[in-house]
Amino acid sequence: MCSEDRHTAMDRRDFLKLGGAGLAGAVLLGTAGTYRGMALAETGSLRTEFGSAAQKYRVPVELLLAMGYVNTLWEMPPPSASDYEPGDLSGRGAYGIMQLMQNPSTDTLGDAASLTGLSRDRLKRSRAANILGGAAVLGEMQGKDKPQYLDGWREAVAEYGGGTLYAAQVYEALMSGASATTSTGERVRLAPQQDVEVPLVYTIASADYMRAIWRPAYWGNYTNANRERSHNITKIVVHVAQGSYAGTISWFKDRRANVSAHYVLSRDGRVAQCVRDADIAWHAGNWRYNKHSIGIEHAGYADYRRTWTDAMYRASARLAAHLSKRYDIPLNRTHVLEHRWVPGTDHYCPGKYFDYRRYLHMARRYRRG
């Protein structure tokens, strides 16, 4: 998302400027079912950095690669992308490709500093150091027993990422494989892994929207209300999370976050509902807008083109069409807003790569259909 306070806008002037060192054209090829004896590419490449970290801390390199892909699509965001800031939607305090955390609830950044001997600042800014720190933390969470098989790491992965939902995303990436070209020109590929099982994630209630899964935010991160009866829902606000799908949902569950949105969408089109439509989520940085809007959060980063997949556009436009029909919200620029248009905010959210015209056109088409 962006920034949030229950009653006033929060400032965030330094949005994501993708960085990270590396050589163009490096290719990462996983080997199904094993993580030892894998050839490493040129010095400074992602292969070297992931491989060295995996070897040093006895962590499967495929697992680290899958975590990096789920976290940031193998990009190295600068610290300003999600520096911890109280009341800020994207201010989780999650750093680097391995999303080392530093906020009042979690300090895996500090754990990484203790385990590696590297400074917190270096762990935040250096891609190689960040990967090393993530491997160290994961290895410590796993304990002395380092299983040869990937499924043996599921509990440690869940602990690292704040829950089973994160582990499920990581193991889905392992099972299906992944590929990307980073902003530094490195071609990255993780081959599909054999004999891995995706952890089950349970839900105990149904969502307001039939295509969504109920993933409730902590009760203290939103305001209980009864907006449906008073016909108070008049707007939709579109956000980008500056983080992953699982990481965003986990942040809304954190009792110290003081932020939330009604819905969170993944790049592959999954929809989670975190706050009931009738209640007031803290997402817009403007209390008056919060009271009358539905907040839709999208996993990814404002300055990263690959955030906005076709699957995400379709899923979000369908959701917007549903909300438009249910609450009689006109599908126009006055009632469907980019977060940066909300009075009192100076945010870049949802970023230059969000195609508002396409989004609105799709939403109108789905409503007609």
Higher pLDDT, 324 or 195: 324
- pLDDT, tens digit (0-9, with 9 covering 90-100), for 16-45: 222 333 322 233 433 333 333 333 333 458
Q: Where are the alpha helices (DSSP H) in the chain?
A: 46-57, 61-72, 108-116, 120-125, 127-142, 154-161, 164-176, 227-230, 245-253, 287-291, 310-327, 356-368
Residue 241 token pair: 């999370």
Q: What pLDDT is stored for residue 231 in this prediction?
A: 67
Q: Is there a single domain that holds both residue 117 and residue 256? A: no
Q: Is there a single domain that holds both residue 54 and residue 95? A: yes
Q: Is there a single domain that holds both residue 308 and residue 363? A: yes
- Examine residue 224 and state whether it is found in any structural domain, yes or no: yes
Q: Is there a single domain that holds both residue 223 and residue 253? A: yes
- Examine residue 327 and state whether it is found in any structural domain, yes or no: yes
Kindly give the interhelix angle for 164-176 and 61-72, rounded to the nearest 10 degrees. Answer: 110
Amino acid at 83: D
SS3 assignment, position 235 = strand
> 259 and 295 in contact (C-beta within 8 Å)?
no
Band of residue 151 on the pLDDT scale cut at 50, 70, 90: very high
What residues form DSSP beta bridges with 296? 238, 263
- pLDDT, tens digit (0-9, with 9 covering 90-100), for 301-329: 998 888 999 999 999 999 999 999 999 99
Band of residue 5 on the pLDDT scale cut at 50, 70, 90: very low
Q: pTM (2 decimals)?
A: 0.86
* Beta strand 100-101 pairing with 94-95: antiparallel
Q: Is there a single domain that holds both residue 177 and residue 224? A: no
Q: Is there a single domain that holds both residue 118 and residue 166? A: yes
Q: What is the mean pLDDT of residues 40-52?
A: 72
Q: What is the DSSP string of 256-287?
A: T-----SEEE-TT--EEE-S-TTSEES-SS-H
> 265 and 299 in contact (C-beta within 8 Å)?
yes
- Examine residue 124 and state whether it is found in any structural domain, yes or no: yes
Lowest mean pLDDT among 31-35, 103-107, 118-122: 31-35
Band of residue 90 on the pLDDT scale cut at 50, 70, 90: confident
Q: What pLDDT is stored for residue 330 in this prediction?
A: 97
Amino acid at 231: H
Q: Which residue range forms the structural domain that includes residue 289?
A: 212-368
Q: Is there a single domain that holds both residue 171 and residue 264? A: no
Instruction: Determine which helix (DSSP H) or strand (DSSP E) holds 181, and give its type and residue range.
Output: strand 178-181
The residues, ordered by sequence, that sit 6+ positions from 117 with a Cβ below 8 Å of its Cβ are: none
Rounded to 5 degrees, φ, ψ at 352 are: -70, -20
> 244 and 256 in contact (C-beta within 8 Å)?
no
> 211-237: buried (b, 16+ CB within 10 Å) or exposed (e) per residue?
ebbebbbbeebbbebebeeeeebbbbb
Q: Is there a single domain that holds both residue 174 and residue 299? A: no
- Examine residue 252 and state whether it is found in any structural domain, yes or no: yes
Residue 343 is part of a domain; what is its CATH number? 3.40.80.10
> 16 and 303 in contact (C-beta within 8 Å)?
yes
Q: What is the mean pLDDT of residues 348-366?
A: 95
Lowest mean pLDDT among 81-95, 166-180, 231-245: 81-95
* Cα(285)–Cα(233) distance, integer angstroms: 17
Q: How many domains does the chain have?
A: 2
Q: Where are the alpha helices (DSSP H) in 58-107?
A: 61-72
Q: Is there a single domain that holds both residue 266 and residue 345? A: yes
- Examine residue 196 and state whether it is found in any structural domain, yes or no: no
Q: Is there a single domain that holds both residue 140 and residue 219? A: no
Candidates 99, 61, 81; CA nearest to 19 is 81
Q: Is there a single domain that holds both residue 140 and residue 223? A: no
Residue 66 is part of a domain; what is its CATH number? 1.10.530
Q: Is there a single domain that holds both residue 221 and residue 360? A: yes
Lowest mean pLDDT among 39-53, 125-139, 245-259: 39-53
Band of residue 229 on the pLDDT scale cut at 50, 70, 90: low
> 193 and 174 in contact (C-beta within 8 Å)?
yes
